């Protein structure tokens, strides 16, 4: 698993370096996939997103990508078309309070 915060590592250099290197190396197992998680991918430059699209196309047989963003409109259409979209809404106070109370008790 390769996890990157794309708001920190958002340029084409990271895509052509770290991501390509990870995607192109073999796996230790006969079956299964590598996973690349890109958080805040909407901060990536258009050039980086286009380079990522090419990597996704080339390594589709053995690599899966999880692209997380806040603004879908900032993801280029070529990437969007290669993804299944899951939209998550904010949690309600009733959902958050029990967990916050647990954290306070444990601290």
Find tokens 């029990």 and name the residue: 98
Q: Which domain CATH number covers 90?
A: 3.40.50.300
User: What is the total count of domains within the chain?
Assistant: 1
Range of the domain at 31: 2-106
Mention every residue, 6+ apart, whose C-beta is less than 8 A from residue 44.
6, 10, 11, 15, 38, 52
Tens digit of pLDDT for each residue in 22-76? 998 877 666 688 999 999 999 999 999 999 999 999 999 889 999 999 999 999 9
């Amino acid at each position: 698993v390769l996890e990157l915060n794309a708001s920190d590592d958002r340029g084409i250099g990271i895509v052509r370096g770290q991501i390509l290197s990870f995607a192109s190396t073999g796996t230790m197992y006969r079956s299964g996939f590598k996973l690349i998680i890109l958080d805040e991918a909407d901060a990536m430059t258009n050039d980086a997103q286009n380079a990522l699209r090419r990597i996704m196309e080339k390594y589709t047989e053995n690599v899966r990508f999880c692209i997380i963003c806040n603004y879908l409109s900032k993801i280029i259409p070529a990437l969007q078309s290669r993804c299944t979209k899951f939209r998550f809404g904010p949690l309600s106070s009733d959902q958050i309070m029990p967990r916050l109370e647990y954290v306070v008790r444990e601290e």
